């Protein structure tokens, strides 16, 4: 839909209540234990683990032995030292886009703490529910399924199945032609929606039982048949305890999501988002090709400018020119407050759009864009509540924002230092040469320069156990999905011959 149906979108109005219920939130936030202090900067035990386990570590420190663990600690401390050296008046820190990015990271953490403090921390699963679902948690279902395009197909299918007695397999073969009926497994540990979790694990299912229709995001429908299941048996006390805790966590998250949805629904009650028709479609005509081609172009151009990263695609230079004519036009109102296109553009610097559907056609873009803007506005209102509650000053939130700030500032300063020191070539392709010839000596000098300001909790450090399994952690349905900054390629030093021990 490009022009057709625009009258229906005139001053497009959306009630924001209920637009947030599908958002998943993280599990419990653990307490923060200080692992190292570097002046006024800190590294917590949890940060150390995230930086080591949720990113791909280089070969020189990816093993799980004590020497590699010390290289990791030295690398994270070196990152803080470079951030100190960069100071508070460097080019990156002065950049408004960078400051908005860090604010966006902080506000995302504030919203997650809002969820944790007001929902997750308030619920506890019923023991009877735990016992009932524990009995089913070992089931691994094998299902066959059909995707039907609309309600008419569903009605025809169900009539033939229920009234005429035609089997699921016969109907499926008729619909699919010679194709094999699609199959998949359903496991308790899968990332299931609340609806699918309720279908498969709230009560026992029978072999050949028909499930559905279940409506999909694209308005198609899913019809499923239970082809069978196998049961994963737990025997040891440790396995039994783990399964019990997995079931508890699942139920706790479901209950917390429901409570959170109710609270945000109350927060958004009566608030209306109204789009201005002409501006809305002018804007979507500009943005659709950019988003459909690459949602990362502008970020990549920014990265290239400040972190020296290579960019394989060029930023479309017509973007700013096209936007310029719209920046002063009214895009929407929220409860009567006018937002111009320029206001919306600035908001994206701290809250990139999150589209509810991962894949959609060009024709669907206006509708999906509308939903993404509504979710952005919802998050702005949650931010306001979080600031009122002082969540911006909660240690875990501050540590998270500082982690990203110091990582990016240190990488910027690292590249500046290498350029001034005469290093030539692409850092990504020659990082070992850069580290061994330039950065190791530099980090050694900083360790001595700031030694009096460095404290290390050796007791806590020696209790940490790491794996050597590569993992890159992502979070779904949030503006900033990457959980942890990339591992800092700064030093291969494994000696802890500086600073003092935290008592």
Query: Would the pLDDT of 296 be above 70?
Result: no
The widest CA-to-CA distance across the chain, in whole angstroms, is 84
pLDDT digits (tens, 9 = 90+) for 63-117: 989 999 999 999 999 999 999 999 988 999 999 999 999 999 999 999 999 999 9
Average pLDDT, the chain: 87
Report the Cα 473 to chain-centroid distance in Å. 9
Query: Residue ranges per domain, the chain?
Result: 6-16+270-388, 34-89+391-501, 139-231
Across the strands, what pairs with 36? 43, 456
Max mean pLDDT among 73-87, 285-299, 307-321 falls in 73-87
- The pLDDT of residue 473 is 82
321 — pLDDT class (breaks 50, 70, 90): low
**34-38 and 41-44 beta bridge pairing:** antiparallel
Mean pLDDT of 336-341: 95
pLDDT digits (tens, 9 = 90+) for 113-130: 999 999 999 999 999 999
319 — pLDDT class (breaks 50, 70, 90): low
DSSP 289-301: HHHHH-TTHHHHH
Overall CATH class of domain 139-231: alpha beta
Per-residue CA distances from 26 to 186, 195, 379, 398, 447 (Å)? 22, 19, 16, 17, 36
């Amino acid at each position: 839909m490009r022009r057709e149906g625009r009258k229906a979108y005139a001053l497009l109005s959306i009630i924001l209540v209920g637009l947030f219920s599908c958002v998943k939130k993280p599990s419990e936030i653990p307490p923060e234990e200080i692992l190292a202090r570097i002046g006024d900067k800190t590294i917590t035990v949890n940060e150390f683990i995230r930086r080591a386990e949720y990113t791909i570590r280089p070969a020189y420190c990816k093993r799980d032995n004590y020497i590699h663990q010390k290289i990791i600690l030295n690398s994270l401390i070196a990152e803080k030292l470079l951030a100190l050296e960069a100071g508070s008046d460097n080019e990156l820190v002065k950049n408004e886009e960078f400051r908005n990015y860090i604010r966006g990271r902080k506000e995302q953490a504030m919203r997650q703490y809002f969820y944790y403090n007001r929902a997750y921390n308030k619920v506890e699963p019923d023991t009877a529910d735990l016992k009932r679902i524990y009995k089913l948690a070992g089931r691994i279902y094998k299902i066959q399924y059909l995707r039907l395009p609309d309600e008419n197909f569903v009605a025809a299918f169900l009539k033939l199945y229920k009234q005429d007695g035609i089997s699921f397999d016969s109907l499926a073969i008729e619909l699919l032609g010679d194709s094999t009926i699609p199959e998949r497994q359903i496991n308790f540990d899968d990332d299931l929606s609340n609806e699918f979790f309720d279908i498969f694990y709230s009560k026992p299912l029978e072999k050949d039982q028909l499930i559905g229709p279940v409506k999909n995001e694209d308005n198609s429908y899913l019809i499923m048949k239970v082809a069978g299941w196998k049961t994963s048996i737990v025997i040891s006390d440790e396995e039994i305890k783990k399964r019990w805790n997995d079931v508890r966590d699942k139920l706790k998250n479901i209950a917390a999501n429901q409570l959170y949805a109710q609270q945000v629904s109350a927060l958004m009650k009566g608030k209306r988002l109204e789009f201005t028709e002409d501006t809305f479609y002018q804007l979507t005509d500009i943005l659709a090709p950019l988003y459909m081609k690459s949602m990362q172009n502008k970020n990549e151009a920014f990265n290239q400018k400040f972190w020296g990263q290579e960019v394989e695609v060029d930023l479309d230079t017509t973007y700013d020119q096209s936007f310029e004519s719209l920046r002063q036009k009214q895009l929407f109102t929220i409860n009567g407050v006018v937002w111009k296109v320029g206001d919306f553009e600035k908001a994206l610097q701290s809250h990139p759009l999150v589209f509810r559907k991962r894949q959609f056609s060009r024709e669907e873009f206006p509708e999906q864009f509308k939903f993404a803007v509504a979710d952005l506005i919802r998050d702005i209102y949650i931010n306001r509540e979080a600031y009122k509650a002082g969540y911006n000053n909660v240690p875990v939130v501050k540590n998270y924002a500082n982690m990203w700030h110091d990582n990016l500032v240190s990488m910027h300063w690292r590249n500046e230092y290498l350029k001034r020191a005469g290093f030539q070539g692409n850092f990504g392709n020659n990082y070992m040469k850069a580290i061994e010839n330039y950065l190791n000596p530099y980090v050694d000098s900083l360790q001595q320069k700031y030694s009096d300001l460095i404290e290390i909790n050796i007791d806590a450090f020696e209790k940490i156990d790491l794996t050597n399994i590569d993992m890159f952690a992502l979070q779904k349905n949030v503006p900033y999905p990457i959980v942890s900054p990339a591992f800092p390629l700064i030093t291969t030093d494994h000696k802890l011959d500086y600073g003092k021990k935290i008592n």
